[in-house]
Amino acid sequence: MVERPYKCPLCHASFRNESGMMWHVSRRHEAPQALEALGKNYEEKVDKLRQDNVAQARENTDLKGELDDTKTKLLNTTINLTKEQEENITLMSQISKMTDLQTRLITALALRDVILRECSGIKLPIPFYESDKNLQTPSQPKKADL
């Protein structure tokens, strides 16, 4: 294996060529020094980034809590909606049964009227229509016909 002739003067890392060593020095050792030259401390910058990360983590935790609360509310709403739908189905079934019973009752009343008229000759008034005292039945002659 070829010996690496270039060494970093600051950390003594070895490199195959001069450009690799120069890249290492500029990226690893001069960046903090360049920040200090601009009036900023590298450690302060790192601390600020850490604080930003902590603040972001808190915000993420808060958002996750809100998301969980919203999911819980949605689940409860879905459960309540399902219960309401079941109740609506039950009520619709009851209405259908009542309609069937009402239809049977009307049919029984009509059949009763037919049987009474045919067997006994009794004609009952129709309970589903309002009667008007001024109306004349077709079996009665009108005064003009007399």
pLDDT in tens, 53-75: 999 999 999 999 999 999 999 99
Task: For residue 6, list its beta bridge partners.
Answer: 15
Instruction: Please check the confidence at residue 146 and state whether its pLDDT lies above 50.
Output: no
Q: What is the mean pLDDT of residues 74-88?
A: 97
CA pseudo-torsion sign 70, 75, 76, 77: positive
Q: What is the mean pLDDT of residues 40-65?
A: 88
Report whether 14 contacts 4 (CB < 8 A): yes
Q: What is the mean pLDDT of residues 85-96?
A: 96
